[in-house]
Structure 1
């Protein structure tokens, strides 16, 4: 039998575009018949949180107001619905963020002590893996793995460019190395370049333009600042592939002649699957992938948002949730 959870909790909630997050006291949700109540132990912060707060176009993807943000969630099962048999209180789990209802968009997310999720959206954590690493695996890890392995098809002998070594790019670069690729990375930030040197890549350069002319099989643009995609096209071999997933700029101005003469294959990548998350969880648990992570307290969520907005983050920010005392 599960231990009763508290009646109320604090949550950081979105209340509309252009408004700061609100720290609210809300009821602890109750799981439905096929759902699970998860005690949140870690919630990863994502630049899409800034998009939800700042960009009017994001509001059309948000299906309730107010809503608790936070879509990278790991924690412990607290209660289960009547029809749930695969999980029990105390199980360590991560939440698939692209399942039946998307946390932080279609239902309340993880910037709170508890979150409800469909049981079908839960993944068990490998033994010994920290909640912080598990949380970032659900989106940053999933999205990077999907772009590198599923979309780009990186494998032994591939010559790969990685543009941007932020929260996703650092994972993507390491995954490409683990899949046998020769990896050439680029980032304009000195601290990111230094981070990249610890990923076993062939080299790290200070700009995407420095990758031009290298005849790479694939370039994966985790930055997406317009000019970076232009450089990606100039960096591939004839018939090579550019994978776009960074959203640094709304538009890019590709040079038509470059695309045509290089016979460039340009594809977009977004999100991923449960299988992507499982693969990343195993890499994290084994120590093969060791991303730079900074822990924040619950009260520091607005600070984290501001740092993401200003580009003052190296690696990934993860909010660590305190355990809530029982009533």
Structure 2
């Protein structure tokens, strides 16, 4: 293949609250251990909203997009052609085994599409350890969201919350991750409840197997009347959802070490306030959950391919990326949106 020297890309410029669409972004040469992939699809995540809102205070300029699938079109000189196949579809892990934080900073702020060139482009460069083969029958847009939304929600349910049969689980935020978490928790045998201020999101949660879906006022009244759960998983993580989660967890009979769990996945600009005495006496464990492992992505893709988990995904052309991010800012998206280079709609 003749490698182009430039490509279309959506680029983060520090201080700009919109991505800059560059039709001639330079495509650098491959290193010996690297792979050039044609981007098949890239998911749009609330992390991108935070980035453009200045949450990370990043001073670097780079292509955004950390949730992607792609097809290898060129291999570096030291890449094993038996391990990575030209023309095959792969999901791309956001964090590889070589990523480290700069100057002691968080690893996730120096990862694919968050500090380094990502997938809002026609091509992406990565290494073999980030690539997981996609089973037959999984669409490119579903393969893309598996790499972050799929993995992050799975890790929160399976590893952080350790959801098991018979558990009562309350999930806050039925968006790109939350709608998958509802299905994972059901898959592991839990009774699932959902909370979201959007009627469309609550409707989706019920369609996906939630027993009940509440808005914030309904849940406040429900917990005041004695409603409790074993576990909460919060994809919003602001003071309102945290306090509602604690209210739903406090009423449980504590049987150590099987304590109620409050799992935090979402990122907000708010500082959560709680009493240590409250935490100790109620027995509630507050657990953070971030991303997942390669094996998690393999499992997620298998669940997607079998139809056990049904992602709700909508595709837009990459040229519409700023409009999609605006929709995400305004909480107008139900499920997950992806962007595809040169998609015609």
TM-score over 0.5 (shorter chain) = yes
CA distance in 2, matches of 1:257, 1:202: 32
Q: Deviations over 1:39-62 (max 9, x none)?
A: 00100001111111112x4134x6
CA distance in 1, matches of 2:221, 2:117: 43
1:277 to partner: Cα distance: 1.4
The answer to whether the aligner puts 1:96 opposite 2:93 as a matched pair is: yes
Structure 2 residue corresponding to 1:6, chosen from 4, 7, 16 = 4
1:34 to partner: Cα distance: 1.1
State whether residues 233 and 259 of structure 1, in contact with CA within 8 Å, keep that contact through their aligned partners in structure 2: no
Structure 1 gap ranges (5+) = none
- How many equivalent residue pairs? 317
TM-score, structure 2 as length reference: 0.87
CA distance in 2, matches of 1:165, 1:117: 31
1:210 to partner: Cα distance: 5.0
Structure 2 gap ranges (5+) = 100-110
The answer to whether the aligner puts 1:128 opposite 2:137 as a matched pair is: yes
SS at match of 1:313: coil
1:209 to partner: Cα distance: 2.6
Task: State the match for 1:142 in structure 2.
Answer: 151
Task: State the match for 2:178 in structure 1.
Answer: 169
CA distance in 2, matches of 1:137, 1:164: 18
Q: Deviations over 1:108-156 (max 9, x none)?
A: 1000000000111111101110110111111111110111000110111
CA distance in 1, matches of 2:196, 2:331: 13
Task: State the match for 2:106 in structure 1.
Answer: none
Task: State the match for 2:213 in structure 1.
Answer: 204
CA distance in 1, matches of 2:187, 2:133: 23
Task: State the match for 1:44 in structure 2.
Answer: 43
Bigger shift: 21-30 or 128-137?
Answer: 21-30
Q: Deviations over 1:212-237 (max 9, x none)?
A: 23331111111212111111111122
Alignment of 1:238-317 (within 5 A): 238=254, 239-254=259-274, 258-317=278-337
| Root mean square deviation of aligned Cα | 1.7
CA distance in 2, matches of 1:224, 1:131: 30
CA distance in 2, matches of 1:310, 1:184: 24
Q: Deviations over 1:197-255 (max 9, x none)?
A: 11112221222435523331111111212111111111122331100111244222335
SS at match of 2:144: helix
> Structure 1 pair 129/44, CA: closer, same or farther in 2 (3 Å)?
same
